[in-house]
């Protein structure tokens, strides 16, 4: 499960010795995020976001449990209890703003974590299971965030619930009964609000459980690294503690500055003013948009404006509404097969010239375009832009990635992580690494590779 040179936990005091025999919990922590977990020495700051995501999960659970003490999930009083939290409860305003912005920050760090995975191909063998569990966590997060947004029972809450459960009505035959079953009524009402509250409370703990599986699966092959070359020797690694606890601690400090700046100075910047109007089933807001973190997927949903039909016959194969729903769910579900779409043996984008071009000039602009279109009203030019971007999105994963993984000539890889960090001059066996900046120069060290062949992981 770990490398042979991993440090072993040695209880020092009588108490920890006693505990280690009965329930070796400190040993588990030591091996998971302590000195007992050897980690590649060259991780850059993109490797901070897993720990930061875990931090924001804890923030959401703590603030959420506290908010639930003051909130009532009843359609008659829900909106009022949120205002009660804002005005009457001690520090209620701060806890609620921390929870609302905490969701946004959770998604910010998760998106950076996912894009780290895209660029450095963290999904490739032997780490497919970590990636699959990560996609499950992301889907659970989306469900949790959606249901949480319904709870204040404002206009956006209500109409968001209506539109998102309406997605299920697109399914042939069972769609409409399914929507009625999900809502417990013919429109969002008390039954829907109450069950969303129950599930919004439950799902974070399910996420925490899958996170434990995610970390467990990570500790079998160990962390990936920016070169994509697997760990070969002790000098390639440093212990997680203190090296990465310190580095993650620094990253945490930076993100907390940004987070507190949002909570205290721009608490509503990421929300919608319409959600401070109580839900009204008879009036739809003029411009319904989901929260910003759903915009790219919402743009894909809205990109399908025409039915898929047999030309000149008028026979509709798939109606536009169902096409949009399939594409929106498909855009995330296709991440489940990503490890088998990208067959290139080279992991890191630094050594893949064609992949890197399509990543920076294809996927990233495409995601930005989808993001902007998802937040914009359903009118031109946004509809056409979102159609082009949606087409590229699917093309990128289903066609471009498999093709470039076949035809691309990768750059020569360094022999080892140590060589990539220290340059070709370093002997293979230096231990520790405390004096050397673990940042190092990871990519594009011209001429450092001893030969051009791809080094298999050992």
Annotated catalytic residue within 7, 70, 84, 219: 219
Q: How far is the CB of 272 from another protein (least distance, A)?
A: 14
* CA–CA gap between residue 374 and residue 389 (Å, rounded): 11
Q: How far is the CB of 377 from another protein (least distance, A)?
A: 8
Going by the DSSP 8-state scheme, the letter that residue 310 receives in this structure is E
For 232-235, the CB contacts below 8 A with 24+ separation are: 232/416, 232/417, 232/457, 232/458, 233/416, 233/418, 233/428, 233/429, 234/3, 234/5, 234/38, 234/429, 234/431, 235/41, 235/416, 235/418, 235/428, 235/429, 235/430, 235/431, 235/432, 235/433
Annotated catalytic residue within 248, 272, 342, 348: 248
Cβ-based nearer residue to another protein, 200 or 214: 200
Question: Are 458 and 230 within 8 A, CB to CB?
Answer: yes
Q: How far is the CB of 138 from another protein (least distance, A)?
A: 23
The question of whether 214 is a catalytic residue gets the answer: no
* CA–CA gap between residue 182 and residue 196 (Å, rounded): 10
Cβ-based nearer residue to another protein, 305 or 453: 305
Question: Are 140 and 207 within 8 A, CB to CB?
Answer: yes
Q: How far is the CB of 71 from another protein (least distance, A)?
A: 22
Question: Are 196 and 160 within 8 A, CB to CB?
Answer: no
From the number of C-beta atoms within 10 Å of its C-beta (0-12, 13-18, 19+), residue 432 rates as exposed
Helix axis angle, 175-183 to 190-219, nearest 10°: 100
- C-alpha separations of 221 from 3, 5, 262, 361 in Å: 9, 14, 37, 31
Annotated catalytic residue within 230, 291, 342, 419: 291
Phi/psi at 22 (5° precision): -85, -45
CB-CB neighbours of 146 under 10 Å: 18
* CA–CA gap between residue 265 and residue 168 (Å, rounded): 38
Q: How far is the CB of 308 from another protein (least distance, A)?
A: 12
Cβ-based nearer residue to another protein, 185 or 424: 185
Task: Give 190's Cβ-side CA count (13 Å radius).
Answer: 5
Annotated catalytic residue within 99, 247, 272, 350: 247
Parallel/antiparallel/unpaired status of strands 308-310 and 315-318: antiparallel
Q: Which residues bind another protein (CB under 8 A)?
A: 159, 162-163, 165-167, 169, 180-182, 184-187, 189, 191, 195, 281-284, 286-288, 302, 304-305, 307, 319-321, 324, 378-379
Cβ-based nearer residue to another protein, 389 or 421: 389
Cβ-based nearer residue to another protein, 278 or 307: 307
Q: How far is the CB of 268 from another protein (least distance, A)?
A: 23
The question of whether 219 is a catalytic residue gets the answer: yes
- C-alpha separations of 416 from 225, 238, 421 in Å: 11, 14, 9
Nearest Cα neighbor of 41 from 447, 457, 441 is: 441
Q: How far is the CB of 77 from another protein (least distance, A)?
A: 17
Cβ-based nearer residue to another protein, 186 or 205: 186
Cβ-based nearer residue to another protein, 283 or 453: 283
* CA–CA gap between residue 272 and residue 291 (Å, rounded): 8
Q: How far is the CB of 108 from another protein (least distance, A)?
A: 27
The question of whether 357 is a catalytic residue gets the answer: no
Cβ-based nearer residue to another protein, 307 or 408: 307
Active site residues: 219, 223, 247-248, 291
């Amino acid at each position: 499960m770990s490398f042979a040179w991993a440090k072993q936990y040695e209880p020092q005091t009588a108490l920890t010795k006693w505990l280690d025999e009965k329930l070796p919990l400190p040993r588990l922590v030591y091996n998971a995020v302590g000195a007992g977990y050897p980690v590649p020495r060259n991780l850059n700051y993109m490797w901070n976001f897993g720990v930061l995501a875990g931090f924001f999960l804890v923030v959401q659970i703590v603030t959420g449990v506290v908010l639930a003490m003051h909130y009532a999930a009843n359609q008659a009083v829900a909106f009022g209890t949120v205002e009660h939290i804002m005005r009457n409860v001690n520090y209620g305003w701060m806890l609620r703003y921390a929870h609302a912005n905490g969701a946004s920050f959770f998604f910010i760090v998760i998106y950076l974590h996912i894009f780290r995975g895209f660029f450095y191909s963290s999904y490739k063998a032997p780490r497919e299971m970590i990636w699959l569990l990560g996609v499950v966590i992301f889907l659970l997060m989306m469900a949790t965030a959606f249901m949480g947004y319904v709870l204040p029972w404002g206009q956006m809450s209500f109409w968001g619930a209506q539109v998102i459960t309406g997605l299920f009505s697109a399914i042939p035959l069972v769609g409409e009964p399914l929507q009625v079953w999900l809502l417990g009524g013919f429109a969002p009402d008390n039954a829907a609000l109450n069950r969303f509250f129950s599930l919004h409370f439950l799902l974070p703990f399910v996420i925490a459980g899958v996170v434990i599986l995610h970390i467990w699966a990570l500790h079998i092959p160990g962390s990936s690294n920016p070169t994509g070359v697997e760990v070969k020797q002790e000098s390639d690694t440093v212990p997680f503690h203190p090296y990465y606890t310190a580095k993650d601690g620094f990253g945490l400090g930076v993100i907390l500055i940004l987070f507190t700046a949002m909570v205290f100075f721009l608490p509503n910047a990421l929300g919608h003013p319409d959600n401070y109007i109580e839900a009204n089933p008879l009036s739809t807001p003029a411009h319904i948009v989901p929260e910003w973190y759903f915009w790219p997927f919402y743009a894909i949903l809205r990109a399908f404006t025409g039915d898929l039909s047999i030309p000149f016959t008028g026979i509709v194969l798939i109606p536009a509404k169902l096409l949009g729903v399939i594409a929106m769910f498909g855009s995330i579900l296709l991440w489940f097969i990503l490890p088998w779409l990208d067959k290139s043996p080279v992991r890191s984008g630094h050594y893949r010239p064609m992949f890197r071009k399509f990543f920076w000039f294809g996927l990233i602009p495409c995601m930005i375009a989808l993001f902007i279109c998802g937040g914009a009203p359903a009118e031109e030019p946004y509809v056409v832009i979102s159609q082009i971007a949606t087409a590229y999105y699917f093309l990128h994963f289903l066609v471009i990635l498999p093709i470039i993984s076949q035809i691309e000539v990768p750059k020569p890889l360094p022999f080892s992580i140590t060589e990539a960090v220290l340059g070709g001059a370093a002997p293979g066996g230096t231990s520790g690494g405390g004096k050397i900046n673990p940042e190092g120069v990871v990519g594009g060290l011209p001429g450092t590779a001893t030969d051009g062949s791809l080094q298999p992981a050992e």
